[in-house]
Amino acid sequence: MKAIEVRALTKRFGDFTAVNAINFEVAQGEIFGFLGANGAGKTTAMKMLIGLSRPTSGEATVAGFDVYRQTEQIKRNIGYMSQKFSLYEDLTVWENIRFFGGIYGLSAAKIRKKAVALFERLSLHQEANALVGSLPLGWKQKLSFSLAILHDPKIVFLDEPTGGVDPITRRQFWDMIYEAADRGITVFVTTHYMDEAEYCNRVSIMVDGRIDALDTPKSLKNHFRVETMDDVFLRLARNSQFKEA
Amino acid sequence: MIRVNQVSKRYGAIEALRQVSFEVNPGEIFGLIGPDGAGKTTLFRILTTLLLPDEGTARVNGRDVVANYKALRAEIGYMPGRFSLYQDLTIAENLAFFATIFGTTIEANYENIRPIYEQLAPFKDRRAGKLSGGMKQKLALCCALIHSPEVLFLDEPTTGVDPVSRKEFWDILAMLKQKGMTILVSTPYMDEATRCNRVGLIQNGELLQIDTPAGIVSRFDQPLWAVTSDEMYRLIQDLRTHPTIKTAYAFGDTVHITVKHSFYPEDLFADLGAKNHQNIEIFPITPTIEDCFIGLMETQKTP
Q: What is the pLDDT of residues B255-292, one digit of tens each?
A: 999 999 999 999 999 999 999 999 999 999 999 999 99
Element (H, E) at B41: helix B40-47
CA-based nearest distance A66→chain B, Å: 31
**B200 and B179: one domain?**
yes
**B161 and B237: one domain?**
no
Element (H, E) at B247: strand B245-251
- Give the CATH number for residue B92: 3.40.50.300
Of B189, B217, B245, at which residue does a domain stop? Answer: B217
Of B217, B246, B261, at which residue does a domain stop? Answer: B217
In a domain? residue B294: no
In a domain? residue B299: no
pLDDT digits (tens, 9 = 90+) for A80-118: 998 776 799 999 999 999 999 999 999 999 999 999 999
pTM of the entire predicted model: 0.88
Q: Do B35 and A169 touch (CB under 8 A)?
A: yes
Indicate the residue of A39, A169, A199 with minimum beta-carbon distance to B232: A199
In a domain? residue B202: yes
In a domain? residue B301: no
In this prediction, does ipTM exceed 0.90? no
Q: Please, which residues have CB within 8 angstroms of residue A103's CB and are 6 or more apart in sequence?
A: none
In a domain? residue B240: yes
Q: Pairing state of beta strands B182-187 and B151-154?
A: parallel
Number of domains in chain B: 2
Query: Chain B residues contacting A, CB < 8 Å?
Result: 34-38, 119, 123, 132-135, 156, 159-165, 167, 188-190, 203, 232-233, 236, 249-253, 290, 293-294, 297-298
Comparing CA positions, the residue from A215, A204, A145, A137 lying closest to residue A180 is A145
Cα of B101 vs its chain's centroid, Å:
29
A167 touches chain B (CB under 8 A): yes
Indicate the residue of B162, B252, B297 with minimum beta-carbon distance to A38: B162
**Chain B residues within an 8 Å CB radius of A36:** 162
**B199 and B250: one domain?**
no
Torsion of CA B70, B76, B79, B82, to 10 degrees: -20
Containing structural domain, residue B241:
224-286
In a domain? residue B182: yes
Indicate the residue of B134, B156, B189 with minimum beta-carbon distance to A38: B134
Q: pLDDT by residue for chain A (245 residues), tens digit each?
A: 899 999 999 999 999 999 999 999 999 999 999 999 888 899 899 999 999 999 999 999 999 999 999 999 999 999 999 877 679 999 999 999 999 999 999 999 999 999 999 988 888 888 889 999 888 888 888 999 999 999 999 999 999 898 888 899 999 999 999 999 999 999 999 998 888 999 999 999 999 999 999 999 999 999 999 999 999 998 888 777 654 43
**B158 and B189: one domain?**
yes
Q: Which of A43, A160, A166, A206 to mutate to test the interface with B (most CBs of B within 10 A)?
A: A166
**B109 and B251: one domain?**
no
**B157 and B81: one domain?**
yes
- Distance of CA A61 to CAs A65, A70, B233, Å? 5, 9, 29
In a domain? residue B199: yes
Indicate the residue of B133, B252, B253 with minimum beta-carbon distance to A38: B133
**B154 and B27: one domain?**
yes
Comparing CA positions, the residue from A23, A26, A20, A80 lying closest to residue A50 is A80
